[in-house]
A and B are shown apart, each in its own frame.
Chain A
Amino acid sequence: MKILVVDDEADVQPLFLQRFRKEIRNNEIEFDFALSGEDALKYLEDKHSEVVLILSDINMPGMSGIELLGHIREDFGDPPPPPVVMMVTAYGDEENYKQAMDKGANDFLTKPLDFDLLKQKLKNLTA
């Protein structure tokens, strides 16, 4: 399963790689990273059919996660199934949640990320 993680903080990358060390080694999960919404769109141009799940931060300089979500829902729904998109944010307030859900997010997670919970969700996804 290929997962794209979108976050402007570069240190998110080693964190994911280490947290999912076993899964990666067992070839259950593969990670790719983008440092901005714009980067993510470029990446998806080529590989949207491979990506099963997108985890995106909302608050990023430039294109926000919500905007990215809008583009994903508009441009990358074909061929089905559309990728699962989970929004991640430090501001876990109602307004952000509502906006994300309206734009078609599948889930909404708050920072600091609970990796055990995330793993559980991934299991449900593949089941």
Chain B
Amino acid sequence: MYFFVYIGAFLLLTRLRTSVKYTELFDKWNQTLRWAAIGVAVSFFLFEKIFPDEITPFLGPLILGFIVAYTLKEPDFKPLKSFINTHLPLVIVGFLDAVVDLITPKFYAEYDDYFQIGVLLAFLWIFARWASTKKQQQELRMMSVKKDELEAVVAERTAELTKQRNELQDLVKELKATQAQLIQSEKMASLGELTAGIAHEIQNPLNFVNNFSEVSAELIDEMEEELEKGDKEEALAIAADIKQNLEKIRHHGKRADGIVKGMLQHSRQSNNVKEATDINKLADEYLRLAYHGLRAKDKSFNAELITRFSENLPLVEVLPQDVGRVLLNLFTNAFYATQQKQKQGDPKYRPVVEVATIAKKGMIEVFVRDNGTGIPEHIKDKIMQPFFTTKPTGEGTGLGLSLSYDIIVKGHNGKIDVQTKEGEYTEFVICIPLSVKN
């Protein structure tokens, strides 16, 4: 039965050789394994002739055992270790077979069949394991092919996503630049709207400056006349008037100065330094500018301006230009709403725009109310969105309230709320904490 042991050894060598085929180990092992296999085949036929019957049964298991031991130690065959191990039962059964035959030939002859079945089972064991390993290997190979495919897909997707991300980042950068530009042009647009109002506001004080200086020159002539006449009392009265006029000139000069400064401040890029600001003064200034701005465009427009300023309003740490811009925007909207309502033709309608300030604990509130067209319920949620406008194309940028929201909420940690009833009124409430941390 040692015939199977030889076949086992022969097939082991052949399979080892097949397994190294197409690998870099092939050149190293091809010849060795081939000659070893041939050697095994030849020795099967030769050994029977050469050696006595007591020794030949040991030679097959010895050869197989040697091959198994050698290849198990060889690192090149490490991946095949489990396959090589499947030959161990055949080696053991072969030896057992030979040993028993040598020691008790009688016993061996009696149970000859069992020993043969043992060898056969050990031999078949190798094949069974070989088949299942082969199947596993095939599955592994398929899995690795699939894995490679997946990895390729993943790499492709990753590259795609990276590209998209970079594109989006560029886009965001571009958008930020555009936004900055838009904010600047919004400022300039509102400045343009204001120009007429500003011109009017400057014109009034300048008229006073001119008039009072002119009349003062006349008064000096008169004073001289009175002095010549010797009417000292009248001359002193005139002198008092002149003095008063000079004060008026100074007052109106300063008024014009303040307006020009305010205008410059409005057009400048904000420098992000918060200052203690009198919101009453700021609101009053911008209310007038907004009013005259609109009236310069629509000369027949008239509105009642009501100011209810809290007398003990504390100063608030804000960016004055930014908050001024918010107020200006709210006032412009308020006047626009009343103007639109007036255009509906009710002869009894009187436009009223109201601004009020209230000091509360740790904050102040500014109310801007108009009795204009109001805001329809279905657009109330949209009014703070960028580019949303109800004005005809080309008239509004749609950025006014959106910027106002950013300035109050993001820039000053405040709140901006609106209450409105369509056709009746709109009231915006701005709430600003007294001290805003940057």
Contacts and interface: CB of A to CB of B under 8 A. Distances in A.
Interface residues of B, number: 25
Contacts of A9: 204, 208
B229 interface: no
Contact of B211 (A15, A60, A93, A96): A15
Interface stretch (B20-28, B63-71, B296-304, B415-423): B296-304
A25 to B, nearest CB: 9
Contact of B305 (A21, A61, A96, A113): A61
A18 to B, nearest CB: 5
A60 B292 CA distance: 11
A106 interface: no
Contacts of B207: 111-113
Contact of B208 (A11, A18, A62, A115): A11
B265 interface: no
Interface of B: 200, 203-204, 207-208, 210-212, 215, 218-219, 222, 241, 244-245, 248, 252, 295-296, 299-300, 302-305
Contacts of B222: 21-22
B302 A18 contact: no
Contact of A61 (B210, B215, B303): B303
A59 interface: yes
A99 B301 CA distance: 12
A59 B207 CA distance: 15
Given A11-B248, A11-B252, A14-B244, A96 B299 contact: yes
Nearest to A12: B208
A62 B244 contact: no
Interface in A11-43: 11, 14-15, 18-19, 21-22
B204 A15 contact: no
Contacts, number: 56
Contacts of B302: 59-60, 62-64, 67
Contacts of B203: 90, 111
Nearest to A99: B300
Contact of B215 (A18, A95, A99): A18
7 contacts: A11-B248, A14-B241, A14-B244, A18-B218, A61-B304, A62-B304, A112-B210
A21 B220 CA distance: 13
Nearest to B203: A90
Contacts of B212: 15
Q: Chain A interface: which size bin?
A: 20 to 34
Interface of A: 9, 11, 14-15, 18-19, 21-22, 59-64, 66-67, 90-91, 93, 95-96, 99, 111-113, 115
A112 B210 CA distance: 9
A21 B221 CA distance: 13
A18 B245 contact: yes
Contact of B245 (A14, A66, A113): A14
B196 to A, nearest CB: 10
Contacts of A14: 241, 244-245, 248
A104 B203 CA distance: 27
Given A15-B212, A18-B241, A95 B204 contact: no
A60 B295 CA distance: 11
Given A15-B211, A61-B305, A93 B245 contact: no
Contacts of A18: 215, 218-219, 241, 245
A95 B295 CA distance: 13
A41 B162 CA distance: 76
Contacts of A90: 200, 203-204
Given A9-B204, A115-B211, 15 more contacts: A11-B208, A14-B241, A15-B215, A18-B245, A19-B218, A21-B222, A59-B295, A59-B302, A61-B305, A63-B302, A64-B302, A91-B200, A111-B203, A111-B204, A112-B211
B430 to A, nearest CB: 23
A50 to B, nearest CB: 26
Contacts of B219: 18, 21
Contacts of A115: 211
